[in-house]
Amino acid sequence: MQYLILSLISGVLLSLSWPTYGIPFFIFFALVPLLLAEHQLRLFSSTQYKGWKIFGLSYLTFLIWNAVTTGWLYHAQSPDGTPSLMAVLFPVLVNSLLYASVFSFYSFFKKMKGTYWGLAFLISIWMAFEKFHLEWEFTWPWLNLGNAFAEYPKLIQWYDTLGATGGSLWILIANVFLFYTIRIWQAERSRKELIKNASIYIGIMVIPMLISWYKYYHFDFQSKGEVSVLMLQPELDPYTEKYTKDSLQITEELLALAAENAKGQIDVFLAPETALPGYGSYSEKGIGNSVTLKSIQEFVRQHPKSVFIAGLSTHRVFPIDEAPANAYQYDQYAAESYNSAIQITQSGLSEIYHKGKLVPGVEIFPYMHLLKPILGDAMLNFGGTIASLGRDKERMVFANPYNKMKAAPIICYESIYGEFTTEYVKKGANLLAIVTNDSWWGVSEGHRQLLSYARLRAIETRREIVRSANSGMSAKINALGEVEEHTLYGDRTTLFSKAQLYEEHTFYTKTGDWISRVAIFVLGFIIFYTWIQWVRKKIKW
Confidence of residue 384 (pLDDT cuts 50, 70, 90): very low
Average pLDDT of span 504-528: 97
Residues 6+ apart with CB under 8 A from 324: 318, 334, 336, 390
Which residue stretches of 71-221 are H helix? 85-113, 115-135, 159-188, 191-217
Q: Is the pLDDT of residue 38 over 70?
A: yes
Q: Is the pLDDT of residue 268 over 90?
A: yes
Q: What is the distance between the alpha carbons of residues 180 and 36, in angstroms, rounded to a whole number?
A: 10
DSSP assignment letter at 526: H
Average pLDDT of span 16-28: 97
Q: Is the pLDDT of residue 382 over 50?
A: no
Average pLDDT of span 144-161: 98
Confidence of residue 295 (pLDDT cuts 50, 70, 90): very high
Confidence of residue 388 (pLDDT cuts 50, 70, 90): confident
Type of residue numbered 103: F
Helix axes 247-261, 291-301, angle to 10 degrees: 10
Q: What is the distance between the alpha carbons of residues 362 and 413, in angstroms, rounded to a whole number?
A: 11
In angstroms, the Cα distances linking 33 to 13, 90, 168, 344, 395 are 10, 27, 18, 55, 42
Q: What share of residues in the chain are helix, strand, coil (percent, to 5)? A: 50, 15, 30
Helix (H/G/I), strand (E/B), else coil: 38: helix
CB 463 within 8 A of CB 472: no
When mean pLDDT is compared across 86-90, 402-406, 426-430, the lowest value belongs to 86-90
Q: Is the pLDDT of residue 381 over 60?
A: no
pLDDT at 78: 73
CB 492 within 8 A of CB 505: no
Average pLDDT of span 114-125: 95
Q: Which of 76, 74, 69 is nearest to 99 (CA)?
A: 69
Strands of 281-438 (E only): list them. 282-283, 307-319, 328-330, 333-345, 348-349, 353-354, 398-399, 406-411, 431-436
Q: Is the pLDDT of residue 85 over 90?
A: no
Average pLDDT of span 319-330: 74
Type of residue numbered 104: S
Q: What is the distance between the alpha carbons of residues 308 and 157, in angstroms, rounded to a whole number?
A: 32
pLDDT at 45: 76
pLDDT at 86: 82
Helix (H/G/I), strand (E/B), else coil: 206: helix
Q: What is the distance between the alpha carbons of residues 460 and 149, in angstroms, rounded to a whole number?
A: 13
- Per residue in 155-206, pLDDT (tens digit) is 999 999 999 999 999 999 999 999 999 999 998 889 999 999 999 999 999 9
Phi/psi of residue 310, each to 5°? -145, 150
Confidence of residue 369 (pLDDT cuts 50, 70, 90): confident
Confidence of residue 318 (pLDDT cuts 50, 70, 90): confident
pLDDT at 196: 96
pLDDT mean across residues, the chain: 92
Residue 347 vs residue 68, higher pLDDT: 68
Residue 271: CB atoms within 10 Å:
29
Hey, what's the torsion of the CAs at 321, 326, 328, 332, to 10 degrees? Answer: 0
When mean pLDDT is compared across 231-240, 272-281, 318-327, 392-401, the lowest value belongs to 318-327
Q: What is the distance between the alpha carbons of residues 541 and 376, in angstroms, rounded to a whole number?
A: 52
Q: What is the distance between the alpha carbons of residues 88 and 393, in angstroms, rounded to a whole number?
A: 29
When mean pLDDT is compared across 226-235, 383-392, 453-462, the lowest value belongs to 383-392
Residue 363 vs residue 505, higher pLDDT: 505
For residues 44-64, one letter each, b for 16 or more C-beta atoms within 10 angstroms of the residue's C-beta and e for the rest, the string is eeeeeebeebbbbbbbbbbbb
CB 45 within 8 A of CB 469: no
Average pLDDT of span 272-293: 92
Q: Is the pLDDT of residue 335 over 90?
A: no
Q: Is the pLDDT of residue 378 over 70?
A: no
DSSP assignment letter at 364: B
Q: What is the distance between the alpha carbons of residues 332 and 366, in angstroms, rounded to a whole number?
A: 26
Residue 451: CA count within 13 A, CB half-sphere: 30
Confidence of residue 374 (pLDDT cuts 50, 70, 90): low
CB 419 within 8 A of CB 456: no
When mean pLDDT is compared across 143-147, 245-249, 320-324, the lowest value belongs to 320-324
Confidence of residue 380 (pLDDT cuts 50, 70, 90): very low
Sign of CA dihedral 262, 226, 341, 491: negative
Q: Which of 410, 493, 498 is nearest to 454 (CA)?
A: 410
When mean pLDDT is compared across 33-37, 78-82, 400-404, 418-422, the lowest value belongs to 78-82
Fold classification of 225-313+339-358+393-503 is Nitrilase/N-carbamoyl-D-aminoacid amidohydrolase (3.60.110)
Q: What is the distance between the alpha carbons of residues 18 and 26, in angstroms, rounded to a whole number?
A: 9
Helix (H/G/I), strand (E/B), else coil: 504: coil
Average pLDDT of span 239-260: 92
pLDDT at 151: 98
pLDDT at 364: 84
Extents of the domains making up the chain: 1-219+514-539, 225-313+339-358+393-503
pLDDT at 541: 64
Q: What is the distance between the alpha carbons of residues 15 and 4, in angstroms, rounded to a whole number?
A: 17
Phi/psi of residue 276, each to 5°? -130, 155
Find how far residue 302's CA is from the centre of its chain. Answer: 37
Average pLDDT of span 391-410: 96
- Per residue in 425-478, pLDDT (tens digit) is 999 999 999 999 999 898 999 999 999 999 999 999 999 999 999 998 999 999
